[in-house]
Structure 1
Amino acid sequence: MNACPHANTATTTSLFTPEFVADPYPAYAALSEDAPAHRITLPGGVEAWLLTRYEDCRAAFLDNDSYSKDMAGTWTAFQEQRVPITGDVVIGMGDSMLVSDPPRHTRLRSLVSKAFTPRRIEALAPSIERTATRLLDDLLERAGEQTGEPSAQRVGRADLTTGFAALLPMEVVRHMLDVPAEDGERLRRDVEAVMSNDEDSRDAAMAAFQDVHGYLADLVARKRVEGGDDLTSALISARDETDRLGEDELVSMLALLLSAGHETTVNLLGSSVLALLRHPGQLALLKREPHRWPDAVEEVLRWDGPIQNAIWRFTRKPVTVGGVTIPAGEAVALSVAAADRDPARFPDAAAFDITRGERGHLAFGHGIHHCLGAPLARLEARIAVPLIFEKLPDLALAGEPAYRPSTVSRALSSLPVTFRA
Structure 2
Amino acid sequence: MTTLTQLPDDYVQNPHEIHDRLRAEGPVQELRLPRGLKVWLVTRYDEAKIALTDPRVSKDVNEGRHLMEVHAPEQTERRTIEEALSVHMLNMDPPGHTRLRKLVTKAFTARRVELMRPRVQEISAELIAKLNDGDVVDLLEVFAFPLPITVICELLGIPIDNRDEFREWSNQLLTFGTADEVQAAGAAMAAFLFQHVGKVQAAEPDDTFFSALVHANDSGDRLSTEELVSMAFLLLVAGHETTVNLIGNAVFSLLQNPDQLQVLKDKPELIPASTEEFLRLEGPINVATFRFTKEDIDLGGVTVPAGEILMVSLVAANRDPAKYENPDQLDVTRSAQGHVAFGHGIHFCLGAPLARLEFDVALTQLLARFPNLELAAEPETLVWRDSTLIRGLHTLPVRLA
Q: TM-score under structure 1 normalisation? A: 0.88
- Judged with a 3 Å threshold, the aligned counterparts in structure 2 of structure 1 residues 396 and 122 are, in CA distance, closer, same or farther, namely same
1:313 maps to 2:305:
no
Matching residue of 2:173: 194
1:406 to partner: Cα distance: 0.5
**1:408 and 2:389 aligned:** yes
**Residues 1:91 and 1:265: Cα distance change in structure 2 (over 3 Å):** farther
Contact 2:265 2:367 in 1 (8 A): no
TM-superposed deviation, 1:280: 1.1
How many residues get paired?
393
Give the structure 2 partner of residue 106 of structure 1.
98
Q: Deviations over 1:181-240 (max 9, x none)?
A: 2112111221122111x3x54332232122212211100101112244322211110010
Which amino acid in 2 is paired with 1:35? G
Please report how far the alpha carbon of residue 90 of structure 1 lies from its aligned counterpart in structure 2 after TM superposition.
3.6
Deviations 1:146-168 (A, max 9, x none): xxxxxxxx621001111211111
Read off the aligned partner of 1:176 and give its amino acid letter: L
Mapping 1:363-374, distance limit 5 Å: 363-374=341-352
What pairs up with 1:201-212 in 2 under 5 angstroms?
201-212=178-189
Percent identity of the aligned residues? Answer: 39
Cα distance change, pair 22–370 in 1 and its aligned pair in 2 (3 A): same
- Tell me by how many angstroms 1:364 deviates: 0.1
Q: Secondary structure at the match of 2:31?
A: strand
Shift in Å, 1:85: 6.0
Residue 350 of structure 2 aligns to a residue whose secondary structure is coil
Matched residue SS, 1:343: coil
Is the CA contact 1:75–1:330 (under 8 Å) kept in the aligned structure 2? no
Provide the C-alpha distance between the structure 1 equivalents of 2:195 and 2:210, rounded to a whole number of angstroms. 12
Partners of 1:215 and 1:110 in 2: how far apart?
Answer: 26
| Alpha-carbon distance in 1 for matches of 2:384, 2:33 | 17
Task: Tell me which residue corresponds to 2:13.
Answer: 22
Hey, what does 2:153 align to over in structure 1?
A: 174
User: Separation in 1 of the partners of 2:137 and 2:78?
Assistant: 32
Please give the TM-score of this superposition, normalised by the length of structure 2: 0.93
**Equivalent position amino acid for 1:220 in 2:** V
Give the SS at the match of 2:131.
helix
Shift of 1:79: 6.7
One-letter code of the match for 2:137?
A
Asked whether the equivalents of residues 74 and 315 of structure 1 are also in contact (C-alpha less than 8 Å), the reply is: no
Question: What do the CA deviations read for 1:115-156 (whole angstroms, capped 9, x no partner)?
Answer: 11111111111111111111122233xxxxxxxxxxxxx621
Counterpart of 1:45, as a letter, is G
Q: Indicate the larger mover: 210-219 or 296-305.
A: 210-219
> In structure 2, the residue corresponding to 1:139 is in which secondary structure?
coil
The 5 A counterparts of 1:54-203 are 54-64=45-55, 66-74=56-64, 76-78=66-68, 84=76, 90=81, 94-140=86-132, 155-196=134-175, 198=176, 200-203=177-180
> Alpha carbons of 1:71 and 1:386: their partners in 2 closer, same or farther (altered >3 Å)?
same
- Consecutive unaligned residues of structure 1, counting only runs of 5 or more, are 141-153
Asked if 2 retains the 8 angstrom alpha-carbon contact of 1:396 and 1:419, the reply is yes
Amino acid at match of 2:315: A
Equivalent residues of 1:286, 1:292 under 8 A apart: yes
* Cα distance, 1:351 vs structure 2: 1.2
Q: 1:364 to 1:327 in 2, by over 3 A?
A: same
Q: How far 1:86 sits from its partner (Å)?
A: 5.7
Deviates more, 1:332-341 or 1:348-357: 348-357
Distance 1:91 1:210, change over 3 A: closer
Report which stretch shifted further, 408-417 or 281-290. Answer: 281-290
Structure 2 gaps, min length 5 = none
Quick check: 2:39–2:71 contact (8 Å CA) kept in 1?
no
1:278 pairs with 256, 261, 264, which one?
A: 256
Q: Distance in 2 between matches of 1:55 and 1:368?
A: 17
Q: Give 2:384's aligned amino acid.
A: Y
Q: In 2, are the aligned partners of 1:39 and 1:49 still within 8 Å (CA)? A: yes
CA contact (8 A) 1:75 1:314 kept: no
Instruction: Choose which of 191, 195, 203 in structure 2 pairs with 1:218.
Output: 195
Give the whole-Å Cα distance in 2 for the aligned partners of 1:42 and 1:205. 19
Equivalent in the alignment of 2:221: 243
More displaced stretch, 343-352 vs 38-47: 38-47
Deviates more, 1:72-81 or 1:287-296: 72-81
Which of 254, 264, 275 is 2:232 aligned to?
Answer: 254
> What letter is aligned with 1:183?
N
Cα distance, 1:295 vs. partner? Answer: 2.3
Query: Runs of at least 4 residues of structure 1 off by over 6 A?
Result: none
User: Given that residues 72 and 79 in structure 1 are in contact (C-alpha distance below 8 angstroms), is that contact kept between their aligned partners in structure 2?
Assistant: no
Deviation at 1:254, TM superposition (A): 0.7
Matched, 1:360 2:338: yes
Taking a change above 3 Å as real, the CA distance of residues 78 and 351 of structure 1, as seen in their structure-2 partners, is closer
Whether contact under 8 Å (2:277, 2:332) holds in the other structure is yes
Structure 2 match to 1:375: 353
